[in-house]
Amino acid sequence: MVRHNARKKKVWLKKFSNAAAISRKTTVKNTTKGISEVVNHKRYGTEVPKDKLITSPYSGIQYVMTNPHPIYGNLFGVSITGYDWVPLEEFKSNSGLLWERKKHPQITYRYTKHEEPKKMNRVQYMEKLTQHKLARWERKHPKPNDELFNDVEQWKQERETALERFRDFVVSIYDKLPLTGRYKNGDHKFKEEIVAELKDKDGEGHKVNELVPGKSKLLNEAQKITNKIHAKNINLVSTNLRDHKRQRGRIILPQAA
């Protein structure tokens, strides 16, 4: 015996499926509503069949039935055939060629090709970050009027100083310092290779020759790495800590354990 609630559920599901079927016929995704078909029109020439002519009861002008196209209704997707009415004289003057074959406009959708943004390299990223910091500085320190020449010159000097400070800060964060090791292979034969890259967190890598041993965190880290490598390989003679511009270096000798 079927329970009453189960019977009500079956009836509801059947009604729901029927309503969904009707809805699918009238939705934009499942119908060609609004899109006219491409029709192969007949060429009548100068002789037009009588069933294709209609006479206006008001003006007495004869019209030709051309361009049959479907007209869709809103209820259950029912459609009828519509025509374009053209005066007979105008139709004959074009020898019936104007509406011989006509493509109706189709619905088009705008399509934009997705392109991945170009990735910046490290140098471009650091420069863009520097300019971003400089723009923030200019908003807080607006440029004075051109009439005050001395103030403008002073502002330009302060701007250059700030730009140099921002660039040094960005380079200190994103540009690691190479630590080059010098190894002895034989009599008067040496080879060099990069043994580590140090991150300059405190901005000490711009003046490596002025760092004080024991007080500089960067120099202490480089000394620790040098001692560790020398403990594993006694052929290590020394290491060289380069600055950010790769123009100067600090020689570091290994210390005995």
**Which tens digits make up the pLDDT trace of 151-179?**
888 889 999 999 988 988 888 788 888 89
Residue 140: C-alpha distances to residues 27, 79, 86, 135 (Å): 57, 68, 72, 9
Instruction: Please state whether the predicted TM-score (pTM) of the whole model is above 0.75.
Output: no
Which phi and psi (to 5°) does residue 82 adopt? -110, 165
How far is residue 147's CA from residue 119's CA, in Å, rounded to a whole number? 43
How far is residue 87's CA from residue 105's CA, in Å, rounded to a whole number? 23
Closest CA relative to residue 198, chosen from 215, 229, 183, 219: 219
How far is residue 252's CA from residue 230's CA, in Å, rounded to a whole number? 12
Report the percentage of the chain scoring pLDDT > 70.
75
Mean pLDDT for 97-115 is 57
When mean pLDDT is compared across 3-7, 181-185, 221-225, 230-234, the lowest value belongs to: 3-7
Q: Which residues contact 7 (CB under 8 A, 6 or more apart)?
A: none
Strand order in the sheet with 236-242: 189-198, 177-186, 236-242, 249-252
How far is residue 77's CA from residue 61's CA, in Å, rounded to a whole number? 35
Structure tokens at 216: 């500089």
